Amino acid sequence: MKYTIGLKCKECKREYSINPIHVCEFCFGPLEVIYDYEKIKKSLTREKIEGRPKSMWRYRELLPLDGDPSVGTDVGFTPLIRSEGLARALGVKELYLKNDAVNHPTLSFKDRVVSVALSKAREFGFRIVACASTGNLANSVAALAAAGGFKSYIFVPYDLEQGKILGTLIYGTKLIGVKGSYDEVNRLCSEIAENYGWAFVNINIRPFYAEGSKTFGYEIAEQLGWKVPQHVIVPMAGGSLITKIWKGFKEFESIGLLDEVPTKIYGAQASGSNPIVAAFKAGVDWIKPQRPQTIAKSLAIGNPADGYYALKTIRDSGGYAEDVTDEEIIEGMKLLAQTEGIFTETAGGVTVGVTKKLIEQGIIPRDESILISITGNGLKTQEAIQDRVGRPLIIDARLSDFEKIGAPKIRERTTSLQAAL
């Protein structure tokens, strides 16, 4: 069953039929998928969703495929955790973490968008898929292309973290390191996309690809018992995820799966790559491109494609935008790991750092429900913290050597009965 109607320009509202296109030929605005919400409303219920397998495809009516997904069929439905340790550390009452650091197969939220993009690419009949990436998308396209039987070409800035390079090459893709920033990689890919006829997931397949991010929002709502938090903090690179989480909440509201959406959405960036935050604070609705300089390479986009819409989401929802320094990013990564046992990548350090800052500034109240979006895994960005987490103590295999360390000797243990008291 098909629930899509076509594509529509987000600016001038001209409509197009479903095709691998992403730009309005009249006004050059971005295209977005339109759905038959009346039909979805009649068909999709909370009970129906709850009865389906635990993957992002349990919301399939709201995703832009004609048939069944053929790639990444078990992606998503990652843990939503009620935080205790981090909540205490931040001094807040009700804190949640949505943890896509353990999304599968490649440990970031990008698996959501790529499974939609490649399933759609198959419907269009493409055999070669490609992307421009800061790393996480590269991992995901390479892995899911391998699983789905596509050939893939992947373009990244040549100076990416080693983990992201290895985590792409292992899948047997053609990886091309471009001497330049992500924005330059992206510009080059726009030119290649025009000439090669491939499915570039974040260029000509972008309208479909981007819809996958809505499932991050759907899952939050379902996992909280069909309600949404009052404050949601989201990292921003190109600015697409933040708009789609908001869109997901609003869609659920419009088809009756949520009663209300009182959520304020907050955008988080690194100070060395903060074009959206800068525009928010300046009170303007256009983005001044930057040359990023930050350890948060997955967020290092100086000319964000969805920057305008990210700003609009933040403003429409009544939220705020903030950035943190590289130092604060590392502190954020360590804080999350040491209070919650979650090792996130630099982007997660940005989100945790910004949340802390907004709470301290009194912008996010301490007694309302807050959710932090964790979108990627720390094992991929080890360089950023390798000198900041100490070293192992090296000893000979002798008890006397160990005793020199001065670890506490505990002679009595708490019994489970005592602990319960």
Give least dist CB 205 to another protein, A: 12
Nearer to another protein, 2 or 288 (CB): 288
Q: Give yes or no for a contact between 376 and 112, defined as CB atoms under 8 angstroms apart.
A: no
Element (H, E) at 335: helix 326-340
Site for another protein in 180-199 (CB under 8 A): 183, 186-191, 194
Q: Return the C-alpha torsion angle 160, 103, 323, 332, nearest 10.
A: -90
Which of 63-71, 201-209, 221-229, 363-371 is the region at the interface with another protein (rule: CB under 8 A)?
201-209
Element (H, E) at 313: helix 307-317
Element (H, E) at 67: none
Q: Give yes or no for a contact between 245 and 265, defined as CB atoms under 8 angstroms apart.
A: yes
Size of interface with another protein, in residues (CB under 8 A) = 33
Tokens found for residue 380:
């991929």
Which one among 30, 348, 376, 378 touches another protein, defined by CB under 8 A? 30
Which of 20-28, 116-124, 250-258, 324-332 is the region at the interface with another protein (rule: CB under 8 A)?
20-28
Nearer to another protein, 244 or 356 (CB): 244
What is the distance between the alpha carbons of residues 21 and 18, in angstroms, rounded to a whole number?
8
Which one among 27, 102, 282, 393 touches another protein, defined by CB under 8 A? 27
3-state secondary structure of 322: strand
Give least dist CB 158 to another protein, A: 15
The alpha carbons of the chain give a radius of gyration, in whole angstroms, of: 22
Q: Does 14 bind another protein (CB under 8 A)?
A: no
Give least dist CB 303 to another protein, A: 3
Tokens found for residue 178:
């471009």
Give least dist CB 56 to another protein, A: 24
Q: Give yes or no for a contact between 103 and 72, defined as CB atoms under 8 angstroms apart.
A: no
Give least dist CB 183 to another protein, A: 5
Which one among 5, 14, 16, 23 touches another protein, defined by CB under 8 A? 23
Which one among 2, 28, 43, 170 touches another protein, defined by CB under 8 A? 28
Of the CA atoms within 13 Å of residue 204, those in its CB half-sphere come to 22
Site for another protein in 360-419 (CB under 8 A): none
What is the distance between the alpha carbons of residues 226 and 313, in angstroms, rounded to a whole number?
21
Q: Which residue is it, tokens 């992201």?
A: 164
Q: Give yes or no for a contact between 59 and 221, defined as CB atoms under 8 angstroms apart.
A: no
Give least dist CB 176 to another protein, A: 14
What is the distance between the alpha carbons of residues 355 and 235, in angstroms, rounded to a whole number?
10
Give least dist CB 255 to another protein, A: 27
Give least dist CB 214 to another protein, A: 18
The residues with which 157 forms a beta bridge, in sequence order, are: 178
Site for another protein in 219-248 (CB under 8 A): 238
Pure H helices in 361-404:
399-403
Site string for another protein, 118-137 (x = CB under 8 A): --------------x-----
Q: Which residues lie near another protein (CB under 8 A)?
A: 11-12, 22-30, 132, 183, 186-191, 194, 202-203, 206, 238, 286, 288-289, 301, 303-306, 308
